[in-house]
Chain A
Amino acid sequence: SQTIHQWPATLVQPVGSPLSLECTVEGTSNPNLYWYRQAAGRGLQLLFYSVGIGQISSEVPQNLSASRPQDRQFILSSKKLLLSDSGFYLCAWRETGGELRFFGSGTQLSVL
């Protein structure tokens, strides 16, 4: 069966520090991968998506970047965190042609 792992679950980082959040998927090949951010009272915002290794599309200009070094691995990074980067980050995947049904359990990031 397909599973999605996301870590860490919570993270507290000072302003200006780097960030690396990792998401891995099991039980599928060539998934379409997504990073969403959920800020308080603002719903979910699509940050990045990837249809294959090394292929990254950015939805909004921001202080973050994403990479896909392996088929089932999706990484969200920042060189220097801002206060506004605080939020709940969710990784998600779907099969090509399918719907977005699988979400990770999320990472709560607090930038202080």
Chain B
Amino acid sequence: AQSVTQPDIHITVSEGASLELRCNYSYGATPYLFWYVQSPGQGLQLLLKYFSGDTLVQGIKGFEAEFKRSQSSFNLRKPSVHWSDAAEYFCAVRDSGGSNYKLTFGKGTLLTVNP
């Protein structure tokens, strides 16, 4: 069964600092990978996704993520964090084939941004 691990429950960074949120997945074949962001009391918004091709994918709000098959990782990065980036971030994986669409989410990483 596929699974997603986000090792960091809570990360605090200063505004303007760089950010990297870790995500490791367990999946037998080539996965489809996603990052979502959830602002307090809100639903989720899709930041970016990786299906195939270039392993560095760009998303909205200045985020990017890199797929590393050898490390089973899909870490999210941003070169300079803004206070509005404070939110919870979820990594997710789904089956690249089959007719049953099912996303498996990690437990999330809460990002706090200090002024």
Contact = CB atoms under 8 A, between A and B. Distances in A.
Most A CB contacts (10 A, CB to CB) among B101, B102, B106 go to B101
17 contacts: A32-B101, A41-B9, A41-B107, A43-B105, A43-B106, A43-B107, A44-B90, A45-B105, A49-B101, A49-B102, A90-B43, A92-B44, A99-B46, A100-B103, A105-B42, A105-B43, A108-B41
Nearest to A88: B41
A106 B42 contact: yes
Contacts of A4: 43
Interface of B: 9, 34, 41-46, 49, 90, 101-103, 105-108
Contacts of B45: 103
Interface of A: 4, 6, 9, 32, 41-46, 49, 59, 90, 92, 94, 99-101, 103-106, 108
B102 A59 contact: yes
B34 A43 contact: no
B67 to A, nearest CB: 16
Residue of A4, A92, A101 most packed against chain B (CB within 10 A): A101
A92 B44 CA distance: 9
Given A90-B44, A100-B46, A103-B45, A43 B90 contact: yes
B46 A101 contact: yes
Given A99-B49, A105-B41, A106-B42, A46 B107 contact: no
Contacts of A59: 102
A90 B44 CA distance: 9
Contacts of B108: 43
A94 B94 CA distance: 14
Contact of B107 (A42, A99, A104): A42
B95 to A, nearest CB: 13
Give 4 nearest A-B pairs by CB, closest first.
A103-B43, A43-B107, A44-B105, A103-B44
Contacts of A103: 43-45
